[in-house]
Amino acid sequence: MITVNTLQKMKAAGEKIAMLTAYESSFAALMDDAGVEMLLVGDSLGMAVQGRQSTLPVSLRDMCYHTECVARGAKNAMIVSDLPFGAYQQSKEQAFAAAAELMAAGAHMVKLEGGVWMAETTEFLQMRGIPVCAHIGLTPQSVFAFGGYKVQGRGGKAQALLNDAKAHDDAGAAVVLMECVPAELAKKVLKLFPVRPSASVRARIATVRFW
């Protein structure tokens, strides 16, 4: 079974790590059989499965259900599940309660959106045994605040994204996912993630999705 330590070893060896989105057991089984290391149960299911206009209406109950489905199909891959909008932003304790439900449903790691202001929550969760994937850059749960699905981190906002990545790294995030950021900025962020000694439980991986 793929674990955080597995990912750390793969990164240290320079091996590629694949992560694909899955919402149900049949596709999860196919991806698992193909050797995909990480399966993301994304709140994008709101648009891809439920026919909604954004990820915002997706509930924790929805995420637990789809996490359970994916967990039934995957035998080896690491399952990463999104904390949905409204289920973790209020307090660290709220985030832990929601994350615990996702872990009980079959997740091996939870993903949360937000920059420096969410780093304290990342630390709170990982200190309690819940690996965290920190999602920065274009965070779809904030799409209306951004004014649409737009590239983030351009110009004077580049330093803010670097600060976001560093804050989550210092807080113990196992994975940092950057979405819709300029390629040059992504390269700068990647330099913040050296491979740590094997004693570390953190994978120190940066996953990049840019348009």
DSSP states of the chain: ---HHHHHHHHHTT----EEE--SHHHHHHHHHTT-SEEEE-TTHHHHTS--SSSTT--HHHHHHHHHHHHHH-SSSEEEEEPPTTSSSS-HHHHHHHHHHHHHHT-SEEEEE-SGGGHHHHHHHHTTT--EEEEEES-GGGHHHHTSS---S-GGGHHHHHHHHHHHHHHT-SEEEEES--HHHHHHHHTT-PPPPTT-----EEEEE--
Q: What is the mean pLDDT of the chain?
A: 90
Kindly tell me if the per-residue pLDDT of 196 is higher than 60: no
**pTM of the model as a whole:** 0.89
CATH of the domain at 105: 3.20.20.60
pLDDT band with cut points at 50, 70 and 90 for residue 198: very low
User: Which among 48-62, 132-146, 149-163, 180-194 has the top mean pLDDT?
Assistant: 48-62
Which tens digit of pLDDT belongs to each residue from 64-114? 999 999 999 999 999 999 999 999 999 999 999 999 999 999 999 999 999
Q: Write down the pLDDT at residue 189.
A: 85
pLDDT band with cut points at 50, 70 and 90 for residue 209: low
Is 93 annotated in the active site? Answer: no
**Which residues form the domain of 39?**
4-209
- Which of 21-30, 121-130, 178-187 has the least mean pLDDT? 178-187
- Residue among 24, 123, 179, 184 flagged as catalytic: 179
Number of domains in the chain: 1
Q: Write down the pLDDT at residue 210.
A: 43
Q: Write down the pLDDT at residue 173.
A: 95
End-to-end CA distance of the chain: 31
Q: Write down the pLDDT at residue 191.
A: 80
